[in-house]
Amino acid sequence: SCVQLLIQMPILLALYRVIGNIPAYVGKVKDAFFPLVDNLMKEQGSAEFLQSFSNASMYAKQFENENFVGGVTSYVQNTFVDVLNKASSAEWMSLKEHFSNLSADIDHTVSLLDQYNNFLGLSMSNSPSFTFG
């Protein structure tokens, strides 16, 4: 019993990191954020707007990193993908309202993410709730 736990625990810890940050490990999911991320990088104030997202505090060090400030493209892209991956539906809507010229890219990205987060007809990206219908 203890031996089984010692064997399984490192595997579970590694899986936890992968599941918590899927775009970093699954290229198809990361690709879903493009060309939105590329176009968002060209917009004035996009980094500041993304920092206002509720989950952006998790990535505060990334926004202050010298690679981000220096404009290293791959680093900025990865930071944007990290923040957008954790964005709520309301934050996606506010992004669409604030950057209305990117609404087609935002809609395309959201529809792809909805497809990837669908399992047996249930969206894994939504919080569970119980409602009477």
Q: Which percentage of the chain shows pLDDT scores above 90? A: 47
Q: What is the residue extent of each domain of the chain?
A: 26-119
pTM, full prediction: 0.80
pLDDT at site 132: 58
Q: How far apart are CA 119 and CA 133, in angstroms?
A: 21
Between helices 103-116 and 89-98, what is the axis angle to 10°? 160
Helix then strand then coil, in percent of the chain rounded to 5, is 70, 5, 25
Average pLDDT score over residue span 36-64: 90
The type of residue at 90 is: A
If you average pLDDT over residues 32-54, what whole number do you get?
A: 92
Tell me: the pLDDT tens digits for 72-114? 999 999 999 999 998 888 899 999 999 999 999 999 999 998 8
pLDDT given at position 123:
73
Other Cβ atoms less than 10 A from the Cβ of 36: the count is 23
